[in-house]
Amino acid sequence: APTAGTITFKSTEITDKKINIDKIREKMGMVFQQFNLFPHKTVLDNITLSPINVQGLSKEEAEKKAMALLEKVGLKDKA
C-alpha cells in the first residue's frame, strides 16, 4: 500500500480502502518494455491470456479485442 498520495484509475481512487481492488485489477493491465512474459507464445497469445483466464472472455472475443488494440497502435502485423 502506498504511504502517501493516491492512485486514480478511470476517475476512481483505487487506494481507498472501500474499493474492491480485485474488481479494478480485472480492468487494468500493465506491460513493461524489456519484460518478456512468455517468449514461447505469440504476441496474440500473450495479449489474450488475461482476458480469457481472468475476465472469462471466449478465445474468439479476446482475439477480436486484441486485434483491435494492436491495430490501434500499429502492431496488427505482429499478431
Give how many domains the chain has, as a whole number: 2
Do residues 19 and 13 make contact, with C-beta atoms less than 8 angstroms apart?
yes
Domain range enclosing 12: 1-30
Residues 50 and 24 in one domain: no
In sign, the C-alpha dihedral spanning 16, 37, 67, 61 is: negative
Residues 51 and 79 in one domain: yes
| Max Cα-Cα span within the chain | 43
Residues 39 and 68 in one domain: yes
pLDDT digits (tens, 9 = 90+) for 31-78: 666 666 788 999 999 999 989 998 899 999 999 999 999 999 999 998
Residues 46 and 76 in one domain: yes
Residues 17 and 2 in one domain: yes
| pTM as predicted | 0.62
What is the pLDDT at residue 28? Answer: 80
